[in-house]
């Protein structure tokens, strides 16, 4: 077989494979290119995947010592869907929140909620009670499914918010209102008879912004499904662009290890949702542990690993420590944060059978965006990649919203049917970033003559700690709660393992003896642990300001990083 160019492969697949045929659709007054024959909803995506999942008999989900075939997983989904409707009165359009660590029940609930036409509210499992309070007031869910630790944090909110909470794992909450009781109420059930439109809301995911509180990103069924099929199309094009050798063995059944939280798009979309039409098996880790990851990859012959760059580095170190090779891995991707360029060649050397990959996407884009895989990425480890075809468009804008020339940095702005519908309850913020179908991402990048994109900066004041987005203003607001603080400025501090962590400069009020330990202890009740600064620069002078009288965040950060932070 003769290798095709990328453009030729796109043309070939979209004109010869009905699964990827393209048409146009007008959505909320904007015309988009869309796939013509994909399942219309996330629930239909599940139901249509049985034929590629070993006709339902193959293992689909693995968690610790438990296993589900695809048919068994679907039966659990149908049982929970019936319970949602008949026991809890969940109706089409209602919102149902999920607050828990990665576990099989989470994946079952996502599809059960979707199948009855309700909207999944993904709750960050690391949030404090105050953070949960904000998100639940914002999203107004009818029901909250939570595990033990999350139930404890939700407890003070049950009465003031009139919450109905359901315990998910054994011992969680009242046995009269538990996941196991609901599951047992309908051991045999059919798929719900609900007419869900492709442009109905599928989910609300919270993404940190620059306004302090996280924003609820409203995703539609069309947006999620079209993103999934864009990733699926990359796999179909790959052998056309790089044809296998005649003596290459047949590719094994794809399988993926889920190591990032399922309340983030990195896990839900290119792993969970993509696994369905890709015919892939999923294995879950309840929390990240590199030794556990090695064990599961070996036992389940996992082919696909996708996590934040820190997890790739941890896996590499653990493989070296154990003296194993993990030959089943054929893909090691990174999402949520940029991988340090030096790590790319190290990974390629450690995992010679795997294509090392990078990806850029957002909660607001259903995770689809830019990517690069294999030898090209190894040769150019500092780039973000190319725009995933065939439904996306991209442009780069200056501060006034005008396109910049090729090779000039500008704000990355993308258009596709996978862009969010809106920010929940935030019409002004929605209008600021979503205009005529184009999403202004806040990331600064540039594109070369080959279509390769490099991200050079972030316009937003966001710290990405191991893939977790942290808003500087949220950290500052929490620090300001302390009576000894006049002013605070949060910023990123480089970290070898996590990429970056949180640091803060603090103007301390005269007469107060504030130390970093006391401030961290105070912040534990206001911020999730990963948002608490690891380094403080405490000073008695006012923080520097720029010409517009705003804090000079960039200058202050540079000055602080040249000196040691305060010690306890």
Sign of the torsion angle spanned by Cα atoms 440, 441, 446, 450: negative
Question: Domains in the chain: how many in total?
Answer: 2
Confidence of residue 212 (pLDDT cuts 50, 70, 90): low
Q: What angle do CA 237, 238, 241 make, to 5 degrees?
A: 85
- Is residue 3 in some structural domain? no
- Is residue 366 in some structural domain? no
Q: What is the CATH classification number for the domain harbouring 491?
A: 3.30.300.30
Which pLDDT belongs to residue 174?
52
Q: In a 10 Å sphere around its CB, with 0-12 CB exposed, 13-18 middle and 19+ buried, how is residue 343 labelled?
A: middle
Closest CA to 510 of 527, 480, 485, 536: 485
Spatial distance between the Cα atoms of 263 and 127, rounded to a whole number of angstroms: 11
E strand or H helix at 40, and its extent? none
| Residue 322: φ, ψ to 5° | -85, -15
E strand or H helix at 302, and its extent? none
Contact 272, 202 (CB under 8 A): no
Mean pLDDT calculated for residue range 183-206: 96
Quick check: 396 pLDDT over 80?
yes
Quick check: 518 pLDDT over 50?
yes
Contact 411, 418 (CB under 8 A): no
Domain ends where: 172, 190, 218? 218
- Average pLDDT, whole number, for the chain? 93
Q: Give tens-digit pLDDT for 253-279.
A: 999 999 999 999 999 999 999 999 999
Confidence of residue 474 (pLDDT cuts 50, 70, 90): confident
Residue 438: which residues within 8 A CB-CB, separation 6 or more?
Answer: 395, 413, 414, 415
Strand 30-35 with 438-447, pairing = unpaired
Spatial distance between the Cα atoms of 409 and 94, rounded to a whole number of angstroms: 42
Domain ends where: 185, 203, 218? 218
* DSSP letter string, 429-476: HHHHHEETTEEEEEEEEEE-TTS-EEEEEESS-EEEETTEEEEHHHHH
Q: What is the CATH classification number for the domain harbouring 121?
A: 3.40.50.980
Q: Can you read off the two tokens belonging to residue 70?
A: 């695809």
- Is residue 447 in some structural domain? no
- Which residue is associated with the tokens 């929970």? 80
Confidence of residue 110 (pLDDT cuts 50, 70, 90): very high
Spatial distance between the Cα atoms of 381 and 342, rounded to a whole number of angstroms: 8
Q: Give tens-digit pLDDT for 308-327.
A: 888 998 999 999 999 999 99
- Which residue is associated with the tokens 């966001």? 462
CA distance from start to end of the chain: 66
- Give the percent of the chain with pLDDT over 90: 82
Residue 29: which residues within 8 A CB-CB, separation 6 or more?
Answer: none
Which pLDDT belongs to residue 207?
86
Closest CA to 540 of 521, 514, 502, 568: 514
Q: How many residues does the chain have?
A: 568
Which pLDDT belongs to residue 547?
53
Which pLDDT belongs to residue 210?
47
The domain of 168 spans 42-218
Q: For every residue of 216-263, which 3-state class applies, written as one string?
A: EEEEEHHHHHHHHHHHHHHHHHHHHHCCCCCCCCCCCCCEEEECCCCC
Strand 499-508 with 485-495, pairing = antiparallel
Strand 393-397 with 410-415, pairing = antiparallel
Q: Can you read off the two tokens belonging to residue 153?
A: 């944090």
Closest CA to 334 of 362, 359, 317, 365: 359
In 259-403, the DSSP E strands lie at 281-284, 304-307, 331-334, 355-361, 369-373, 386-387, 393-397
Sign of the torsion angle spanned by Cα atoms 451, 454, 460, 466: positive
Which pLDDT belongs to residue 208?
64
Closest CA to 335 of 474, 502, 469, 531: 469
Quick check: 549 pLDDT over 60?
no
Mean pLDDT calculated for residue range 174-195: 88
Contact 502, 463 (CB under 8 A): yes
Spatial distance between the Cα atoms of 102 and 367, rounded to a whole number of angstroms: 19
Domain ends where: 199, 218, 237? 218
- Give the percent of the chain with pLDDT over 70: 96
pTM of the model: 0.88
Residue 151 CA neighbour count, 13 Å, CB half: 17
Q: Can you read off the two tokens belonging to residue 150?
A: 């999350």
Residue 18: how many other CB atoms lie within 10 Å: 10
- Is residue 298 in some structural domain? no
Give the lowest-confidence range in 41-45, 127-131, 475-479, 544-548.
544-548
Higher pLDDT, residue 545 or 448: 448
- Is residue 113 in some structural domain? yes
Quick check: 163 pLDDT over 80?
yes
- Which residue is associated with the tokens 């540039």? 446
């Amino acid at each position: 077989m003769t290798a095709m160019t990328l453009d030729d492969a796109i043309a070939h697949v979209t004109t010869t494979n009905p699964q990827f045929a393209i048409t146009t659709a007008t959505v909320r007054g904007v015309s988009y290119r869309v796939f013509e024959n994909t399942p219309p909803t996330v629930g239909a995506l599940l139901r249509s995947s049985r034929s590629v999942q070993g006709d339902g008999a193959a293992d689909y989900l693995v968690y610790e010592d438990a296993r589900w075939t695809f048919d068994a997983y679907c039966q659990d989904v149908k049982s929970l869907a019936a319970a949602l409707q008949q026991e809890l009165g969940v109706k089409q359009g209602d919102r149902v929140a999920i607050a828990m660590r990665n576990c099989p029940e989470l994946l079952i609930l996502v599809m059960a909620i979707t199948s009855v036409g309700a909207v999944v509210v993904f709750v960050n499992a690391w949030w404090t009670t105050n953070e949960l309070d904000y998100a639940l007031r914002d999203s107004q869910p009818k029901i909250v499914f939570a595990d033990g630790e999350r139930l404890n944090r939700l407890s003070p909110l049950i009465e003031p918010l009139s919450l109905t909470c359901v315990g998910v794992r054994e011992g969680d909450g009242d046995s009269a209102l538990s996941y196991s009781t609901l599951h047992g109420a309908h051991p045999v059930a059919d798929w719900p008879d609900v007419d869900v439109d492709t442009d109905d809301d599928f989910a609300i995911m919270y993404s940190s912004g620059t306004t302090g509180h996280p924003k609820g990103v409203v995703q539609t069924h069309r947006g999620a499904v079209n993103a999934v099929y864009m990733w699926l199309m990359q796999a179909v094009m790959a052998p056309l662009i790089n044809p296998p050798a005649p003596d290459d063995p047949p590719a094994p059944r794809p399988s993926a290890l889920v190591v990032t939280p399922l309340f983030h798009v990195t896990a839900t979309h290119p792993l969970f949702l993509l696994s369905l039409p890709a015919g892939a098996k999923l294995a879950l880790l309840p929390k990240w542990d590199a030794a556990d990851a090695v064990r599961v990859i070996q036992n389940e012959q996992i082919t696909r690993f996708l996590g934040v760059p820190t997890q790739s580095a941890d896996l590499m170190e653990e493989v070296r420590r154990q003296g194993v090779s993990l030959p089943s891995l054929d893909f090691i991707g990174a999402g949520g944060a940029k991988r340090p360029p030096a790590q790319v060649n190290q990974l390629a050397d450690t995992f010679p059978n795997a294509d090392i990959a990078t990806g850029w996407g957002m909660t607001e884009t259903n995770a689809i965006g830019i990517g690069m895989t294999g030898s090209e990425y190894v040769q150019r480890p500092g780039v973000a990649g190319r725009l995933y075809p065939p439904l996306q468009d991209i442009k780069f804008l200056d501060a006034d919203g005008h396109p910049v020339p090729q090779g000039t940095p500008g704000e990355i702005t993308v258009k596709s049917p996978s862009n969010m519908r809106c920010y929940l309850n935030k019409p002004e913020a929605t209008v600021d970033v979503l205009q005529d179908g184009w999403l202004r991402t806040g990331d600064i990048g540039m594109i070369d003559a080959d279509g390769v994109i490099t991200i050079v900066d972030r316009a937003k004041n966001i710290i990405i700690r191991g893939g977790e987005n942290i808003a500087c203003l949220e950290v500052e607001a929490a620090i300001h709660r302390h009576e000894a603080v006049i002013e605070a400025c949060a910023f990123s501090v480089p970290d070898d393992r996590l990429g970056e962590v949180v640091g803060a400069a603090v103007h301390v009020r005269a007469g107060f003896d504030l130390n970093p330990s006391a401030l961290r202890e105070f912040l534990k009740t206001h911020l999730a642990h990963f948002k608490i600064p690891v380094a403080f620069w405490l000073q008695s002078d006012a923080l520097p300001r720029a010409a517009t009288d705003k804090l000079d965040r960039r200058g202050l950060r540079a000055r602080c990083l040249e000196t040691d932070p305060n010690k306890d």
